[in-house]
Each structure stands twice: as structure tokens, then as C-alpha cells.
Amino acid sequence: MYKIFINDKPFIITDRALSGDRYKELTTISFSNLGTLMDQVRKTEELQSKGTQLLTDDPTSVFVEFKSHFTSIEAGGGIVFNSNKELLLIKRAGKWDLPKGKIDKGEKTEHGAMREVEEECGVNKLTIRNFNGNSYHSYKLQGHRFLKVTHWFIMDTKFNGKLVPQKEENITDVKWVNWQKLNLETLDFYESIREVLLDIKEKIN
């Protein structure tokens, strides 16, 4: 299964339909023809769309075809917890977010993810607990479609100094939040970030 966010709406390539409140408004389509794949992408881009579930016997092949229509950008990000089991959040362009950024050429993914946390938040003394998986979101720029692939790592830190937002990256706030009391339904997140945190909530409580 692959979850891609197109204009902050889910485009899910899966071999079985997903159920539950998170998916009830999605358009579900049985899919077998790669030639119409971008037609479904364009429909998902439309304002009235709530998102799409694409049902296929071979999600991996369809995802490979999907990626071929986009320029891929590799990024790394951190889901960072401190000694008080608080989660590190940033506010970027008016929305709450997780620290992340583009991986430099020749840089190891995990090193890039830690570097981005340090640069965007002023946090150091980081250690990686484990790799949590990838998220995907697409956007258009000057008529071209881009697919950002973010590699997420769960990290721990003993840092207890002052948090410093990287203002040149449009980050206006950085803060620690109580993980147990964090309400993912009410805070203003991008849906791709909300999905990452919902996945973490299912794994660690």
C-alpha cells in the first residue's frame, strides 16, 4: 500500500479498500489500466475531490508507474522526543509541522534528517531510535509535478536548551508538546503530517 498526498488529499494505491472515518469520503476506484493513471491523479487534484483509493492487484507496479510522471525529491525528517516524552513540533507557514528537509547530494539519509532537526529547531544531542517509514506528497511548480519522498526517523534527545526556529525557512515557532495529550484532530497540520503522527500513535502510546 502507498499513501501519496496530492494537494494535501490522500491518493492511496492499495490491494484492499481501507475502512474507517479517515477514509469514508474517498472515491474508491477499481483500477487495472496504467494508461488512465494520470487521469485519476488529475481528478484528485480537482477542488471538489476528497481523495482517491485506487484498488489494484499490484500496488507496487502502479506506484512505480506513478513515480515515473514526477520529479522525485528525497528528504529526511525527525519525529523527536525529549526526556519528558514530549514531541518536537514546528510551525511553518502557519501550520504545525515536523522538522524535515532535503537530503544533500552524497549525504546519508539519517544524517540529513538529524541535520534538518538541528538547523530548523536548534536541537542537538540527537540519537536515532529507528526508521519509521516514508511519506509522499506531490506538488506543482511552474507547470512541473514533483514528488517529495520524506524518510522519517524516530529520534530521542537529552537536549534541554532554548529552541530556536529557523526563520529563513519560514519557521515561526518551535515547541515541545505533551505526546499523550496531543490532539491530532484539532491542531492545524498538513494531512500528510497528520498521517505520520497517527501512524506513530498506533505504535507508541
Average pLDDT over all residues of the chain: 93
The pLDDT score that the predictor gives to residue 35 is 67
- What are the DSSP E strand ranges found in the chain? 2-6, 9-14, 27-30, 52-55, 71-81, 86-92, 95-97, 100-102, 126-141, 144-157, 171-178
Task: Supply the DSSP string of 33-85, one letter for each residue.
Answer: -GGGHHHHHHHHHSTT---EEEE-S-HHHHHHHHHTTSEEEEEEEEEEE-TT-
Q: Give pLDDT, residue 138.
A: 93
Q: Would you give the DSSP letter of residue 168?
A: G
pLDDT the model gives residue 129:
96
DSSP state at residue 200: H
pLDDT tens profile 144-161: 999 999 999 999 999 999
Q: 58: Cβ–Cβ under 8 A, 6 or more apart, which residues?
A: 15
Q: Cα(188)–Cα(190) distance, rounded to whole angstroms?
A: 7
CATH superfamily for domain 74-203: Nucleoside Triphosphate Pyrophosphohydrolase (3.90.79.10)
Encode pLDDT of 31-86 as tens digits: 876 668 999 999 999 989 999 999 999 999 999 999 999 999 999 999 999 999 99
Give the C-alpha separation, 196 to 202, whole Å.
Answer: 10
- Check residue 82 and give its pLDDT: 97
pLDDT digit string, tens, across residues 128-149: 999 999 999 998 888 899 999 9
Domain borders along the chain are: 2-67, 74-203
Tell me what the mean pLDDT of segment 109-120 comes to.
97
Tell me, what's the pLDDT at 91? Answer: 96
pLDDT tens-digit map of 1-39: 999 999 999 999 999 988 888 888 999 998 876 668 999
| The predicted structure's pLDDT at residue 149 | 97
Amino acid letter for position 128: I
pLDDT at 143: 85
Does 187 score more than 90 pLDDT?
no
pLDDT at residue number 203? 79
For 73, half-sphere exposure in the C-beta direction (CA atoms, 13 angstrom radius) is 14
- Please, which residues have CB within 8 angstroms of residue 79's CB and are 6 or more apart in sequence? 87, 98, 132, 152, 153, 154, 155, 196, 197, 200
Please, which pLDDT band fits residue 166 given cuts at 50, 70 and 90?
very high
